[in-house]
Amino acid sequence: MTSTETILLVALGVVAAAWLFREVARHRQARRLRTLAAEAEASKQQIIVEQRRNRQLKQEMTNNIAHELKTPVSSIRGYLEILLGDKPVSDERRHWFLERCYSQTLRLSDLITDVSIINKLEESADLFPKEHVDVRATADEALVELAYRLESQNISATNSLPADMAVTGNHSLLYAVFRNLVENSAAYAGEGAQVVIECYKEDPERYYLHYYDTGRGVAPEYIPVIFDRFLRIEEGRSRQTGGTGLGLSIVKHAVEFHGGEIYAQLRAGGGLEFFFSLKKS
């Protein structure tokens, strides 16, 4: 083989190698583009699913709010129609009707407040200011505020949180956590139960709290959905006690706002218990 032929063979080899390299690179790039396209499509589908889910949740919440508004508004309208009617009403009955109207307006006010809190937490959580919050003092505030409810059910309450327990968070939301948990016990625990709030563990990042009552608890099937909005564990009793059905949902959102998690379970000795964490700062 002459030197010229050798040079030609080498040149052809170089050209072939270059072509092969380009083809491999092109196939790799095409494969990468297909992967990126597939990932983009999967992300798009996930966004669509989330949007549909959010629309469904908002629609369900709108329907539930309309349902919850219907009862108090209908009651107020009925009472006022009687008071404004042609038939005479005794002073005693007039006073009774006005008391019922006032009670229903309080229920409407609570519902509007709770819906506003949940919407704000879901869509504009950054609007809640953060500050130094004394957790034990905040729990005490809720217990003092609801002392009359607890006493009416002969329920005793113990706040065993440490005196120096503090977080960087929102006072109103932490207060809502304890108030709604205590209200839940006052409404459902039953006569003579006990309520306990304690911190069972802490690490450099978080406090771990335990809230429980020794009441009658709930049926096991309610535990997985206990934080759902407008959950009616005892339909008749929840309406009688005036609950909005949003309390425990607010608790869950408020705990998550403070960088924590919460779960509920039936207490071994009877009653209901909640374990949740709060980020220190």
CATH number at residue 117: 1.10.287.130
For the residues 165-189, what does the mean pLDDT come to? 93
Q: Round the CA-based radius of gyration of the chain to a whole number and report it.
A: 31
In the predicted structure, residue 264 carries a pLDDT above the cut 60: yes
For the residues 8-15, what does the mean pLDDT come to? 63
Q: What is the pLDDT of residues 15-73, one digit of tens each?
A: 666 677 777 777 788 788 788 777 878 777 878 877 777 677 667 767 777 777 787 88
Task: Kindly give, in sequence order, each residue whose CB lies less than 8 Å from that of residue 188, ignoring residues fewer than 6 positions away.
Answer: 215, 216, 218, 233, 234, 237, 272
Domain co-membership, 117 together with 149: no
Q: What is the pLDDT of residues 116-140, one digit of tens each?
A: 888 888 887 888 899 999 999 999 9
Domain co-membership, 177 together with 248: yes
Q: What is the pLDDT of residue 209?
A: 97
In the predicted structure, residue 87 carries a pLDDT above the cut 90: no
Q: What is the pLDDT of residue 237?
A: 42
Domain co-membership, 140 together with 268: yes
Return the higher-pLDDT residue of 60 and 226.
226
Question: Could you tell me whether strands 272-279 and 194-202 are parallel, antiparallel, or unpaired per DSSP bridges?
Answer: unpaired
Give the domain range for residue 9: 1-127
Return the higher-pLDDT residue of 6 and 235.
6
Q: What sections of the chain are H helices per DSSP? A: 3-84, 91-123, 135-145, 147-152, 171-188, 235-240, 247-257
In the predicted structure, residue 240 carries a pLDDT above the cut 60: no
Domain co-membership, 91 together with 171: no
For the residues 182-189, what does the mean pLDDT come to? 91
| pLDDT-based confidence at residue 239 (cuts at 50, 70, 90) | very low
133: helix, coil or strand?
Answer: strand
Average pLDDT of the chain, as a whole number: 84
Q: What is the pLDDT of residue 238?
A: 43
CA distance 281 to 132: 9
Domain co-membership, 110 together with 9: yes
Domain co-membership, 275 together with 149: yes
Q: Which of 74-88, 130-144, 169-183, 209-223 has the lowest mean pLDDT?
A: 74-88
Return the higher-pLDDT residue of 238 and 164.
164
Q: What is the pLDDT of residue 140?
A: 96
Task: Kindly give, in sequence order, each residue whose CB lies less than 8 Å from that of residue 85, ignoring residues fewer than 6 positions away.
Answer: none
Domain co-membership, 81 together with 186: no
Task: Give the residue among 45, 2, 61 at the shortest CA–CA distance from 253.
Answer: 61
In the predicted structure, residue 4 carries a pLDDT above the cut 90: no
Domain co-membership, 260 together with 234: yes
Domain co-membership, 7 together with 116: yes
Domain co-membership, 3 together with 80: yes
For the residues 72-84, what does the mean pLDDT come to? 89
Domain co-membership, 275 together with 141: yes
Q: What is the pLDDT of residue 141?
A: 95
Pick the last residue of a domain from 75, 92, 127: 127
